[in-house]
């Protein structure tokens, strides 16, 4: 059993998610995903009514209800996924709820450019599956308005001895299921883009939500846990276990 990670190409990722699209709720339970974590990730975006937000790797649309509640019918939700199987579920959910402001795109996130400047960008359990995650993050960051936020929610190995013990099994399991690299550390990649950074950990530090705020022209930004993009904070870089 190897303890290293080898990235899959985009076609392999696409085919894998086409196969497992129907079983996403099962995987949520299998990996003990905290039930309220998607909502908390959306809350960290600090969105307001009428805002524009992009979800990268939207899957079957499990975050759409929270995003719609945040931006309202006057806002716009752009959603991208490489898997047509996942998007079928997202499209069905969108049409069932008549969320007319949800625009779906089937493509690699690295090839997607949002048609308008964005107030928020969300990666929900998708960042770790992208072998070119840094270029995707940078491209999304460039489309973000000043004061806008990038939020990444995903899984990671817990710290210390526990992480070392489960690392071989985690890599083995991910390679056969979700293709999410648990060794990626997105919080470092966001922190390299902005000093306005916040991270929280959940379920014995095996899940996290990290948030980065794009600086305003006057070099201030809102605290990631706040709901206002204009409320400056002095303790934006912190890691909290919850």
Average pLDDT over residues 125-153: 94
- Backbone phi, then psi, for 30, in 5-degree steps? -60, -40
228 pLDDT exceeds 90? no
In a domain, 132, yes or no: yes
Tell whether the model's pLDDT for residue 236 goes beyond 80.
no
pLDDT at 107: 94
CA distances 49 to 33, 102, 119, Å, are: 28, 14, 11
In a domain, 58, yes or no: yes
- Over 60: is that where the pLDDT of 237 sits? no
Confidence at 131, pLDDT banded by 50, 70, 90: confident
Does residue 155 lie in a domain region?
yes
CA 149, CA 95: separation in Å to the nearest integer? 27
Quote the pLDDT of residue 168.
86
Number of domains in the chain: 1
Question: Is the CB of residue 105 less than 8 Å from the CB of residue 112?
Answer: yes
> What pLDDT does 196 receive?
94
User: Domain range for residue 223?
Assistant: 10-241
Most confident among 2-6, 90-94, 213-217 (mean pLDDT): 90-94
Distance CA 149, CA 119 (A): 7
pLDDT band, very low/low/confident/very high, at 218 (cuts 50, 70, 90): low
CB atoms within 10 A of CB 18: 16
CA gap 24, 178 in Å, rounded: 9
Higher pLDDT, 6 or 24: 24
Between 111 and 11, the more confident residue is 111
Does the residue 3 lie in any domain? Answer: no
Instruction: Enter the pTM of the model.
Output: 0.86
- Let me know if 146 is exposed, middle or buried by CB neighbors in 10 A (0-12, 13-18, 19+): middle
pLDDT confidence tier of residue 220, bands split at 50, 70 and 90: very low
According to the 3-state scheme, what is the secondary structure of the chain? Answer: CCCCCCCCCHHHHHHHHHHHHHHHHHHHHHCCCCCCHHHHHHHHCCCCCCCEEEEECCCCCCCHHHHHHHHCCCCEEEEEECCHHHHHHHHHHHHHHCCCCEEEEECCHHHCCCCCCEEEEEEECCHHHCCCHHHHHHHHHHCEEEEEEEEEEEECCCCHHHHHHHHHHHHHHHHHCCCCCCCCCHHHHHHCCCCCEEEEEECCCCEEEEEEECCCCCCCCECCCCCCCCCECCCCCCEEEC
Strands 102-106 and 239-241: unpaired
What pLDDT is stored for residue 242 in this prediction? 36
Q: Is 4 a domain residue? A: no
Residue 5 is predicted with a pLDDT of 58
Mean pLDDT of 124-145: 93
> pLDDT tens digit string along 159-206?
888 888 888 888 888 888 877 888 889 999 999 999 999 999 999 899
Mean pLDDT computed over 76-87: 97
For the chain, what is the mean pLDDT? 87
Q: Is residue 2 situated within a structural domain?
A: no
**156 within some domain:** yes
CA distance 184 to 181: 6
- CATH code for position 113: 3.40.50.150
The two three-digit tokens of residue 207, written as one number? 């899940």
Residue 150 lies in a domain: yes
Greatest mean pLDDT range, 8-17, 93-102, 216-225: 93-102
Rounded mean pLDDT of 129-135? 90
């Amino acid at each position: 059993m190897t303890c290293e990670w080898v990235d899959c190409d985009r076609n392999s990722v696409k085919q894998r998610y086409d196969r497992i699209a129907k079983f996403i709720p099962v995987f949520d339970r299998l990996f003990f995903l905290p039930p309220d974590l998607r909502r908390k990730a959306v809350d960290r975006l600090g969105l307001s009514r009428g805002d524009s937000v992009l979800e990268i790797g939207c899957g079957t649309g499990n975050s759409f209800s929270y995003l719609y509640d945040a931006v309202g019918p006057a806002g716009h939700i752009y959603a991208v996924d490489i898997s047509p199987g996942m998007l079928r579920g997202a499209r069905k959910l969108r049409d069932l709820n008549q969320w007319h402001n949800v625009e779906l795109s089937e493509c690699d996130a690295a090839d997607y450019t949002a048609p308008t400047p964005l107030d928020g960008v969300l990666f929900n359990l998708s960042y770790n599956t992208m072998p070119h995650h840094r270029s995707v993050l940078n491209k999304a960051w460039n489309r973000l308005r000043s004061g806008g936020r990038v939020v990444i929610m995903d899984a990671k190995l817990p710290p210390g001895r526990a992480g070392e013990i489960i690392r071989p099994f985690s890599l083995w399991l991910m390679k056969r299921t979700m293709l999410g690299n648990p060794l990626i550390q997105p919080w470092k990649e966001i922190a390299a883009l902005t000093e306005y950074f916040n991270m929280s950990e959940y379920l014995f530090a095996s899940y996290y939500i990290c948030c980065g705020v794009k600086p305003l022209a006057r070099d201030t930004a809102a605290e990631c846990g706040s709901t206002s993009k204009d409320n400056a904070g002095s303790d934006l870089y912190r890691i909290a276990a919850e």
